[in-house]
Copies of this chain bind each other. A is one copy, B any other.
Amino acid sequence: MENIFTDEYFMKKAYQEAELAYEKGEIPVGAVIVVNDRVIARTHNLTEMLNDVTAHAEMQAITSAANFLGGKYLKDCTLYVTLEPCQMCAGALYWSQITKIVFGARDEQRGFISMGTKLHPKTQVVQGVMANECADLMLRFFAERRK
């Protein structure tokens, strides 16, 4: 039997979170954290609503997943996030020792790859899952803002 729990399957959940952010006028980034094919955190960017630069989707997801697990290390967890994490989020992921990060669109300007932020040596990274859809949502958001 085919495994339905692919990276695309969970990235779609993250994308749905990004759409919720979009509807609220937030930069549309969404995230979920998964352990054993089970979603244990789903969050979206809330920096405007909370007036808080630390309220990125990933930061909330890390806090929420640790709360669910009852421990601060995200062992055997995978983060799915629609946009490449920034320095702050990658720095938090470093501390969490998360097992895997899957992101959609690249952020050439402010993403952790260009910025040179170090992840934990244990952490595996997969990029480009639903990259076009994730990038399109961002582009639509900023195009609408400029009107």
Contact = CB atoms under 8 A, between A and B. Distances in A.
Interface string A47-81: 10001111000010011001100111100000000
A67 B50 CA distance: 8
A54 B91 CA distance: 9
Contact of A67 (B51, B66, B87, B90): B51
Interface residues of A, number: 28
A113 interface: no
A52 to B, nearest CB: 5
Interface in A70-113: 70-73, 86-92, 94-96
A83 B73 CA distance: 22
B62 A53 contact: yes
Interface of A: 47, 51-54, 59, 62-63, 66-67, 70-73, 86-92, 94-96, 115-118
Shortest beta-carbon contacts, A-B, top 7: A88-B91, A87-B91, A53-B95, A88-B92, A51-B72, A53-B96, A116-B116
